[in-house]
Structure 1
Amino acid sequence: MRDRRRVRHPAPPGLADAGALGRRPRVTVVGGGIAGLAAATGLAERGVAVELVERDDRLGGRVAGWPAWLPDGTAVAMSRGFHAFFRQYYNLRMLLRRTDPELRRLVPVDDYPLVDAEGRWDGFRGLPRTPPWNALAFALRSPTFGWRDLLRLDARAALPLAAVRVPETYALLDEVDAETFLRRINFPPAARHLAFEVFSRSFFAPPREMSAAELAVMFHLYFLGSAEGLVFDVPADTFPVALWDPLAGYLDARGVRIRTGVTVTGVEPLPAGFRLHTRSGSSDVDGVVLAADVAGLRRIVAGSPGLGTPEWRAAVADLRTAPPFLVRRLWLADPVAAGRPAFLGTGGRPPLDNVSVLDRFEASAARWARRTGGSVVELHAYAAQGSPEEVAGGMLRRLHEVYPETAGARVVGELSEWRADCPLFGLGDFARRPRVRTPVDGVVLAGDGVRVDLPVALMERAATTGWHAANCLLARWGLAGHTLHTVPTRGLLEPLHRLLTRSATSRRRPGSTQPPLHGGR
């Protein structure tokens, strides 16, 4: 939290502990990912009786980890892949500090280099922290961006990147796809592939399917709205060891009952409270946090015919998931060259999007590498096209291109995860997306697919909605909430926002067939 411009969102006032109410409210949190864990923490710390139920047999959601075995019987760890813990993820870090106050179980990755199909490299090491000099320095030292490119930019079309205003930017740009928006700016194609496309695909969708508003807010969150920088931290060991096992112990010490392997089938409103139905029974509670993934939330609401309004139920049913992605983890008999970065983003090399050398930072992988003399490498393909087998083969060929020494390395073992359960931030989705508060007093939503009118994304959106969901229920019972922090909600050139809005509005005059500059598909 080095950025002096970060915004503090004060907690709702109230009683410090539910014990002062005479009877402690009972809440079930459905979902043991980041959002559910944040909600459970926020409620339990105010003395609410919390039960957390998770469909899988582990905590962490899409940041979970689990044991696996190589063909020779060696025990190893597997997950859904690498995650970057950026310094501006204030609310996620607030959750992790509950068991790791100094965040010593996170270690920094000193650079985040990018390489494109022509072999041009970019990186973030040594950039100034203060906006806008960070973005300007990155652009001017990039091999794909020069002074002439800067002069060719359409400054007026590019203004939304520096004039971000959350949530108003969504009304301005959510109907435009990211690819079209970047073309309007006249952003150099090579730079577009090397920089913006790498980041847009980290939202699990290709630029032509991703909202330009999400792209603008992302640019604000990581660049022009934050002085925290783009260098990030990663867990020093597997996700369970570094993150979730300690947090489970923290919650257990505060009376939270954690049940894994439990599938919730519906929520039934009662005259006073709710009846939560699972495949093995039911229980009555005073409040519910639905922190399931998109498919899980749709299924639970579909199985709860008396819950919410028709409009709200339709919004939940309309939530979409992004195209599939593939994570392929390889245990190689030979080491990756010493000079290789721990994490590499790739542009223009489909289907490969990034490479992680896990033994550079994860203790479990490092122990295996020291013992065998090999290395542990992880490959990601976002918005994958083709069969899992085709994508896996393509990723391996691309790995051999960027790290040629791996071509001759024997594969000791490999594990893959093919998933399609991440939310899609598509065109026009923001206005339709359900919010944390629902039409039902006592039922709230949380998760990275839930709308929250703050400049957050990915894991930080999950954590923020989890804390916010807890605050909504705590306020219902007169209990104190938890203060949140974000990067500024307005960009450096935010005073120009009204000009942009007027421009977009004037172009929507009746009878016009011309799409607005900052709107339309």
Structure 2
Amino acid sequence: DVDDATKKVTSITYADGAAGGEEKCLENVDAVVLALGAKGMKAVVGGSPKLAKACPELCKACSLNAIDVLACRIWLDKYVDTLEPANVLSRFEGLLGAGGTFFMLDQLQKDDEQLLWGDETPQGSVVACDIYDSAAVATMGDDEIVNLFVEELLPAAVPEFKGARVVDSYVKRFPGAVSWFSPGSFEKRPPLKTTLSNVVCAGDWVRMDAGSTEHGSKGLCQERALVSGYKAGNVLLSELGFRDGQKHPVIPIRDDEPQFAFGQSIAKSLGGFGIQPPWLS
């Protein structure tokens, strides 16, 4: 419910999944964080006419869409050394037009490696692979997808993967789960602070506005999603009267490295003449 006089959300009615969908109401709400993607935002705003009327900026965000993501985790029988624990897969024919990433969890979670193996003795690397815009790949069977990674994609990226055998694996599909940063969508994305003073938004697609409140890449970025959560919390602490010393600190991003800044300036200059730089082709 929304109090028109104070411009605040005062209560939330929701279906409790743990109670078989029973409708419940949370009264005397202090604040609300909408940590939602496009799919969730459409559901919440579509189910709350008062919220839609009070926050036209959220209605605008509901016009945006999301893309599918496929997650695959693979346990291997040997360790594979990679230059970096986080890696990108791009322009591989087997991805059917999609893009992907793979993370070496045994490197990232070295102190808790046994937990990756269900408290059993670790046998090798554990690889978390994600495919974005995955609708085409998702039509394949689970075994086909695992084989695509183990026999084609991973060895092509890091030859040391060749010969590794799969000890265990799983594949999960998440339709409409990832923000789609389509051209022209920035102005429609939800703002950090909404028209309602006790409602904020968090997530990688949230506009943190220009200047000191903006942070990092304006596209798909886990770090940006995390920082937006910190900033959303800080906004609410101010709204509720807490002191600055009680807010979560946010580490400013570093300036772009000189070679990147130089390449970016050249790209903009060439773009003014309708020329696409070779490194963007």
Q: TM-score, normalised by structure 2?
A: 0.66
Letter in 1 for 2:192: V
Rounded Cα–Cα distance in structure 2 between residues aligned with 1:473 and 1:341: 37
- Cα deviations across residues 279-307 of structure 1 (Å, max 9, x unaligned)? 13112213322222332222111111112
Residue 427 of structure 1: how far off its partner (Å)? 0.6
| Equivalent residue for 1:278, pick from 14, 17, 26 | 14
- Aligned residues of 1:365 and 1:376 also touching (Cα < 8 A): no
| Residue 448 (str. 1) matches residue 214 (str. 2) | no
Cα drift, residue 406 of structure 1: 4.8
The question of whether the paired residues in 2 share the 8 Å contact of 1:455 and 1:486 is answered with yes
Q: For residue 459 of structure 1, what is the aligned residue in structure 2? A: 222
- Equivalence for 2:63: 318
Corresponding position: 1:364 with 2:100: no
Residue number in structure 1 paired with 2:92 = 349
**CA displacement, residues 196-236 of structure 1 (integer Å, 9 cap, x when unaligned):** xxxxxxxxxxxxxxxxxxxxxxxxxxxxxxxxxxxxxxxxx
Counterpart among 163, 169, 172 of residue 414 in structure 1:
169
Cα offsets for 1:438-483 (capped at 9, x unmatched): 1223222222221112132423322332233233333334432435
For structure 2, list consecutive stretches of 5 or more residues without a partner in the other structure.
16-22, 277-281
Where does residue 78 of structure 2 map in the other structure?
A: 335
Percent identity for Structure 1 against Structure 2: 24
Report the counterpart of residue 395 of structure 1 in structure 2: 149
Question: Matches of 2:207 and 2:61 in 1, distance apart?
Answer: 11
| Displacement of 1:515 | 8.2
Conservation of the 8 A alpha-carbon contact between 1:343 and 1:356: yes
Letter in 2 for 1:423: S
1:423 paired with 2:179, answer yes
Alignment partner of 1:486 is 2:229: no
Q: 1:315 is paired with a residue of what secondary structure?
A: helix
Q: 1:490 to 1:475 in 2, by over 3 A?
A: farther
1:474 aligns with one of 208, 224, 237? 237
CA drift at 1:417: 2.2
Alpha-carbon separation, structure 1, partners of 2:84 and 2:189 = 38
Residues 226-245 of structure 1 aligned to structure 2 (within 5 Å): none
Change (3 A) 1:338 1:451: closer
Q: Which deviates further from its counterpart, 384-393 or 291-300?
A: 384-393
1:433 aligned to which of 189, 192, 199: 189
Q: TM-score, normalised by structure 1?
A: 0.39
CA contact (8 A) 1:381 1:395 kept: no
Paired positions, count: 237
Hey, what's the Cα distance between the residues in 2 that align with 1:328 and 1:411? 12
Who is 2:20 aligned against? none
Q: CA-to-partner distance for each residue in 1:13-47, whole Å, 9 max, x for gaps?
A: xxxxxxxxxxxxxxxxxxxxxxxxxxxxxxxxxxx
> What CA distance in whole angstroms lies between the structure 2 residues aligned with 1:430 and 1:339?
35
Mapping of residues 26-425 of structure 1, within 5 Å:
267-269=1-3, 273=8, 274-279=10-15, 280-284=23-27, 285-307=29-51, 308-309=53-54, 311-321=56-66, 323-332=67-76, 334-337=77-80, 342-350=85-93, 351=95, 353-362=100-109, 363-365=112-114, 368=117, 371=121, 373-388=123-138, 390=140, 392=145, 393-398=147-152, 399-403=154-158, 406=161, 408-419=163-174, 420-425=176-181
Q: Which has the higher contact order (CA 8 A, sep 6+)?
A: 1
Q: Which amino acid aligns with 2:189?
A: R
Distance in 2 of aligned mates of 1:410 and 1:359: 16
Cα 1:472–1:516, aligned 2, differ >3 Å: closer, same or farther? Answer: farther
Taking only aligned residues, the RMSD between alpha carbons, in angstroms, comes to 4.0
Shift of 1:270: 6.3
Give the direction of change, closer, same or farther, for the CA distance of 1:491–1:292 in structure 2 (3 Å limit): same
Counterpart Cα distance in 2 of 1:372 and 1:491: 39
One-letter amino acid matched to 1:446: A
Is this contact kept in 2: 1:455–1:489, CA < 8 A?
Answer: no
**Secondary structure at 1:486's aligned position in 2?**
coil
Q: Find the aligned partners of 1:339 and 1:490 in 2 and give their Cα distance.
A: 25
Q: Secondary structure at the match of 1:396?
A: helix
The alpha-carbon deviation at position 489 of structure 1 amounts to 7.8
Give the whole-Å Cα distance in 2 for the aligned partners of 1:374 and 1:487. Answer: 35
State the Cα distance separating 1:365 from its structure 2 match.
4.8
Amino acid at match of 2:150: L
In the alignment, residue 455 of structure 1 is paired with which amino acid? H
Question: Aligned in 2, Cα 1:367/1:386: closer, same or farther, shift over 3 Å?
Answer: closer
- Tell me if structure 2 keeps the 8 A contact 1:360–1:366: no
Checking the alignment, whether the CA contact within 8 Å between 2:79 and 2:125 is kept in structure 1 is yes
Report how far residue 403 of structure 1 moved.
5.0
Structure 1 Cα separation of the partners of residues 173 and 108 of structure 2: 24
